[in-house]
């Protein structure tokens, strides 16, 4: 699965400064997760030196119904839709309810593929050494800052 990582969306370069992604919903899947949290992202940044909040659809290379670049875009470059200031606080409040992790982190930590790429991330473990799981039964991961795998940062 591939999508436009929102941390790399900095177009137009003259406008975007200090980009900080607040929520990354991962790839725009062909089937919605039923909760509405997948496929889009929210970020705060300076838009021509003015603090702003932006939102975008992330896109997908696996879903033929959406653009690989996502939306909005300009001349094939991923961009942000700058939210009107009166909506920013409402979006920030709602983002606090977002799931912790919804995007694909392949290659998964502790796999030979991830280790070969220099990944030092690991499966989170309980005090007794057994793996920790989230409320949906999936494993939790302890990501290492600066990991060379972009989806782990």
- Write the pLDDT tens digit of every residue in 59-84: 887 778 888 899 999 999 999 999 99
28 and 80 in a common domain: yes
Is residue 15 located within the same domain as residue 89? yes
Q: What is the pTM of this model?
A: 0.65
Q: Do 87 and 129 reside in the same domain of the chain?
A: no
**pLDDT of the residue at 1:** 45
Residue 10 lies inside a defined structural domain of this protein: yes
Mean pLDDT of the chain: 82
How many CB atoms neighbour CB 39 within 10 A? 24
Both 57 and 118 in a single domain? no
pLDDT band at 15 (very low <50, low <70, confident <90, very high): very high
Residue 102 has pLDDT above 50, yes or no: no
Judged by DSSP in three states, 101 sits in coil
Residue 120 placed within a domain = yes
103: pLDDT strictly greater than 90 = no
For 151, the 3-state DSSP assignment is helix
Q: Reply yes or no on whether the pLDDT at 34 is more than 80.
A: no
Same domain, 22 and 53: yes
- On whether residue 1 sits in a domain, the answer given is no
pLDDT at 106 over 90: no
115 found inside a domain: yes
Cα dihedral 147/144/78/113 (nearest 10): 50
Number of independent structural domains in the chain: 2
Q: What is the pLDDT confidence band of residue 104, given thresholds at 50, 70 and 90?
A: low
140 Cα distance to chain centroid: 17
Question: The domain containing residue 50 runs over which residues?
Answer: 6-95
Higher pLDDT, 148 or 153: 148
Q: How far apart are CA 136 and CA 7, in angstroms?
A: 26
Q: Which residue has the higher pLDDT, 63 or 49?
A: 49
């Amino acid at each position: 699965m591939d999508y436009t990582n929102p941390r790399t969306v900095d177009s137009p370069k003259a406008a975007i400064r200090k980009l900080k992604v607040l929520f990354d919903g991962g790839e725009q899947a062909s089937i919605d997760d039923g909760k509405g949290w997948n496929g889009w992202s929210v970020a705060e940044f300076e838009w021509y030196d003015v603090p702003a909040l932006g939102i975008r659809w992330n896109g997908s290379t696996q879903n033929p119904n959406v653009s690989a670049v996502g939306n909005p875009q300009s001349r094939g470059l991923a961009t942000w839709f700058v939210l009107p200031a009166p909506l920013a606080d409402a979006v920030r409040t709602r983002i606090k309810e977002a799931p912790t992790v919804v995007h694909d982190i392949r290659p998964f930590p502790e796999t030979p593929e991830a280790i070969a790429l220099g990944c030092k991330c690991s499966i989170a473990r309980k005090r007794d050494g057994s793996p920790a799981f989230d409320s949906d039964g999936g494993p939790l991961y302890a990501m290492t800052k600066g990991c060379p795998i972009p989806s782990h940062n």
